[in-house]
Amino acid sequence: MRNLLISLLTVSCGVAMGQSALKPKINAGADAIEKKVITWRRDFHENPELGNMEFRTAKIVADHLRSLGIEVQEKVGVTGVVGVLKGGKPGPVVALRADMDGLPVTERVDVPFKSKVSTEYNGQKTGVMHACGHDSHVAILMGVAEVLSSMKNEIAGTVKFIFQPAEEGVYDPKLLKDGKSGAELMVMEGVLDNPKVDAIFGLHISSITEVGKIGYRNGALMAAVDQLGIKLKGKQTHGANPWSGIDPIVTASQIVLGLQTIVSRNVNITENPAIVTVGAIHGGIRQNIIPESLDMIGTIRTFAPEQRQLVHRRINEIAKNIAASAGATADVTIDTGYPVTYNDPALTDKMIGTIEGIAGKENVFVQPVQTGAEDFSFFQQKVPGLFFFLGGKPKGQTNPAPHHTPDFYIDEAGFTLGIKSLASLTVDYFEMNAVKAVNAQPSKSKKDKKSK
């Protein structure tokens, strides 16, 4: 009986004991590997690759994981890499994810490792740049893999490292597989199975969050995103005789204004924000010709399923009815994109203490909802997940460049905090679930009493 109580007490204190045993090793390992991680990041930054074209990046990742003795699977979701590290002790399975692709952006930042890669995208010549920090994500997760593999025998569980392609979409629609890409395709191909993942963690570097700080949010963090297309058909005529035709340009202008009333008059913005943006209108060829038709494209951002349905319905009603009032017709298409990036409340509540312990409670804050989107959400639809923002803004900077811009810049001083956070979340999750497993076992003493 005494031995059983000692055993249970030891396990019930497991998180604290696990922290005291492994956290110093994690911290020391992260500090020791900082320069190597920065070197990796600069190499990826100088050699960016677009979605489903990350061949060089994937090879570097796969070679590194193999050098650590980690089981590696390549070409998952076209160019994705998955590594499996089996700890020396049994336990749950935690997945850690980094996205690998760059963007069709021409870099303006004057750094020695500036991207000089160029390509043709959507019929236009453009540079290629890691303008959203995915190069940082890859380098950080490579560092986490090295730190955790060094303590493999002490880990009570399995770590699955997911290096994902095409978070920003594919370079060419022909590179889609079964109509899917990125996280959605990896999930379809079973990345969360064999072994089955119990929880997943991920981070995103932020150019507007100061180095040393971490932002998170329980529940909905980032928006669901959908693509909007409207084809308007009117009647072509001479620009000097507009009464002889049906002007799709004027009609499109009215539709753009009408769509803004969805957010201002239909959506309950006290519960969740929403966005309907028309990003481009293509139509017409000459100043004195009213064209027969034009195309409009845009983006939709929402934070709840019911809200998503409402916005879709109102877009159809407004576009078609305004077109009909002008004598034109509107063909509306809405392509469903990424779901809401939703942090599992129970998992978040349980693990936020780990992040506060690493970064300092004063440096961890509740992040406002972000109208950007992330396909990490496809993983979170299948297993509990926690996604957070890692500070990358230089201290004291007042006007940081936004993501997806030519002037996007990240301070590499925040990388070690990212390594420590992901590694610590992993080992703490293992410890917490080891406690749960032991506490769930029936007491032997009760069985003995019944047998007597």
Say which of 107, 168, 189, 338 is annotated catalytic.
338
CA dist 315 → 149, 250, 261, 279, 330 (Å): 51, 18, 10, 15, 11
Give the list of residues 6+ apart from residue 382 with CB closer than 8 angstroms, or none: 187, 192, 197
Give the list of residues 6+ apart from residue 65 with CB closer than 8 angstroms, or none: 72, 81, 83, 142, 145, 161
Instruction: Please list the helix, strand and coil fractions of the chain in percent, rounded to the nearest 5, in that order.
Output: 40, 25, 30
Q: Are strands 199-210 and 385-393 parallel, antiparallel or unpaired?
A: parallel
Total length of the chain: 452
Say which of 49, 167, 412, 431 is annotated catalytic.
412
412 is catalytic: yes
φ and ψ of 289, to 5 deg = -125, 120
Whether omega for the bond prior to residue 248 falls within 30 degrees of 0, making it cis, is no
φ and ψ of 138, to 5 deg = -65, -50
φ and ψ of 330, to 5 deg = -125, 125
Q: CA quadruple 115, 48, 373, 297: dihedral positive or negative?
A: positive
168 is catalytic: no
Output DSSP code: residue 180: B
Active site residues: 338, 412
